[in-house]
Structure 1
Amino acid sequence: MACWAPKTAGMWQTVFFGSKLLAIAVCMAGCQRDAGQQLPYYNTPDFTPVFVESETDLAEKIPHTIDDFSFKDQNGQTVSQKDIEGKIHVADFFFTSCGIICPRMTKHMKRVEKAFPNDPNLVLLSYSVTPWIDSVARLKKYCLTNGIQAKNWHLLTGPKSEIYQLARQSYFAEEELGFSKDSTDFLHTEHFLLVDQHKRIRGIYNGTLELEMEQLIADIKTLQQESK
């Protein structure tokens, strides 16, 4: 069986069915990449992994990058693509009134932040999917409630249509399921997306699972080594 980590989020959606839990969990553990193995690139919303061997291959095979954007964070500061240029970043999509999944995702994003304290070359972006509710002031309150203090973690709000388009067309946040949807369809996904220093997607993870966060942390370290 071919195992293409870190694209494991979709695979994990079947793990909670009775007696199959252990078998699938063991399988997934066996699919973890070896330390130092190159991360694949993801160029399409079906997350087919692509491996490249040269800069020429990279330019030809991986045209997809995260589009330009500009939103306000919890401090009222403008955050745009300029803030992620030359940096690794992790993106997720949440809303402050979410009662179950989002708090777990926030907790797990804090694990990522704590693994790289005050790292100036890592940016965490949490986009609100209810920006008409999640004002700057509300995002600030959410940060205070959840103990979010890192200067490189931005909770973002802005025009709904722009956030939804960025999520679906740039980050492939809902994979193929949401790629063709527009802002009239509510966006809600547990996925975390890992993006490299050149704004190319390198991993997708289930943000509700601790094991996936450990893989995300390991993959960030791999990307850090790539740039040296």
Structure 2
Amino acid sequence: MKKKSVGLIGLLLISVILSACSNYKFKAETEYTIDDFTATDHRGEEVTLESLKGKPWLAMFIFTNCTTICQPMTFNMTQIQEELEERGVEDYNLVGFSVDPATDTPEVLSEYLGHYSVPDESKWHLVTGYDQAWIEQFALNSFKSLVKMPTEGDQVIHGSSFYLVDENGIAVKNYTGYSETEEGVPFDTIAIDMETLIEERLGK
């Protein structure tokens, strides 16, 4: 009798957990309206806020000459895409804004991305084609994030967050994009949030 009770409790717990997962609702934590922009990605294609609308996208700020966090951040973004691929999620984009546009031409960005094992390169847009003053103001206005070219040296100051932007161009949540420990970057949470946003948009 005791074994049956334990088994029943176990089944109930599993059903509660599965129910909680299936009933997960995305909850926005921020409401930052992204300013209109026109940029050029690493394939030489034009990318605008309007062209990204209709699908959620994950944004980050990086530059190719970065000697600290940018390479780990880019790798972490590939890991998130792997999670999305495993879940069968397709309607999304990954956008990396260069914070050193004078150096980061489309060709340089393309070569940079080529060093990574990217599950689906077609969803990536590493963008440039604007000036330094613009990206610094854009990051502050749209993402409440600091970007600053120092007076000495070439290591641009910028944040390490990933930003989830919904299909309407509103940044609704941000996450740790870099951590000294792998556990610090919430790969699963980001993938689940993106999947949930898409499903809610499609009315699933």
TM-score class normalised by the smaller sequence: 0.7 to 0.9
Paired position in structure 1 for 2:122: 151
Letter in 2 for 1:151: S
Q: By how many angstroms is 1:130 displaced?
A: 0.8
Paired position in structure 1 for 2:196: 222
Q: Tell me, yes or no, if the aligned pair for 2:148 and 2:157 is still in contact at 8 Å.
A: no
Letter in 1 for 2:129: G
Q: By how many angstroms is 1:147 displaced?
A: 3.4
Q: Tell me, yes or no, if the aligned pair for 1:164 and 1:187 is still in contact at 8 Å.
A: no
Paired position in structure 2 for 1:75: 43
Task: Compute the TM-score of the two structures, normalised by the length of structure 1.
Answer: 0.67
Deviation per CA, 1:137-181, whole angstroms, max 9, x where unpaired?
Answer: 111110212234510101011222222222111122x2xxx3xx8
Q: Tell me, yes or no, if the aligned pair for 1:41 and 1:200 is still in contact at 8 Å.
A: no
Paired position in structure 2 for 1:111: 79
Task: Compute the TM-score of the two structures, normalised by the length of structure 2.
Answer: 0.74
Q: By how many angstroms is 1:183 displaced?
A: 6.9
State the alpha-carbon separation in 2 of the partners of residues 126 and 111 from structure 1.
15
State the alpha-carbon separation in 1 of the partners of residues 50 and 93 from structure 2.
12
State the alpha-carbon separation in 1 of the partners of residues 171 and 148 from structure 2.
21
State the alpha-carbon separation in 1 of the partners of residues 134 and 117 from structure 2.
28
State the alpha-carbon separation in 2 of the partners of residues 127 and 183 from structure 1.
14
State the alpha-carbon separation in 2 of the partners of residues 141 and 38 from structure 1.
36
In the TM superposition, 1:64-213 aligns within 5 A as 64-117=32-85, 120-148=90-118, 150-159=121-130, 160-172=132-144, 174=145, 178=146, 186-209=156-179, 210=182, 211-213=185-187
TM-aligned CA distance change 1:224 to 1:40, over 3 Å = same
Letter in 1 for 2:135: I
Among the aligned pairs, what percent are the same residue? Answer: 28
State the alpha-carbon separation in 2 of the partners of residues 76 and 151 from structure 1.
13
Letter in 1 for 2:49: Q
Q: Which structure dedicates a bigger proportion of its chain to helix?
A: 2
Paired position in structure 1 for 2:11: none
In the TM superposition, 1:32-51 aligns within 5 A as 35=21, 36-43=24-31
Query: How many residues matched?
Result: 169
Q: By how many angstroms is 1:66 displaced?
A: 1.0
State the alpha-carbon separation in 1 of the partners of residues 101 and 148 from structure 2.
15
Query: Where in structure 1 do 4 or more consecutive aligned residues deviate above 3 Å?
Result: 117-120, 181-187
Letter in 1 for 2:122: K
Q: Which consecutive residues of structure 2, in runs of 5 or more, have no partner in the other structure?
A: 1-19
Q: By how many angstroms is 1:96 displaced?
A: 0.7
